[in-house]
Amino acid sequence: MKRRVLFLCTGNSARSQMAEGLLRHLAGDRYDVYSAGTHPVGLNPGAVTVMQELQINISAQRSKSIAEYIDQTFDYVITVCDRAKESCPR
């Protein structure tokens, strides 16, 4: 059974998107990987470009609100910024 991982940031535009793509690329056979933001603002084109340099395509990912996952269970919730950690629903 795959473990579920959620990367959480404020905007879900760069860091959490990159982390989602990287973990899915490296261990997608072992983890179901998601990302979200407390105040999503859209996928950052610079994040897409940087990940393409690593041969990882995240261009189909979209910026999502934590509200989309509020009723779901995760094995790991990893915050990639302090503001997201402070406003993370418990």
Each residue of 32-68: b (16+ CB within 10 Å) or e?
Answer: ebbbbbbebeebbeebbeebeeeeeebeebebbebee
- What residues make up the domain containing 52? 3-87
Over residues 29-61, the pLDDT tens digits come to: 999 999 999 999 999 999 999 999 999 999 999
* pTM given for the model: 0.89
Q: What is the CATH number of the domain that holds 64?
A: 3.40.50.2300
Looking at the structure of the chain, the number of domains it has is: 1
Q: What is the predicted pLDDT for the residue at 81? A: 76
Catalytic residue positions?
9, 81, 88
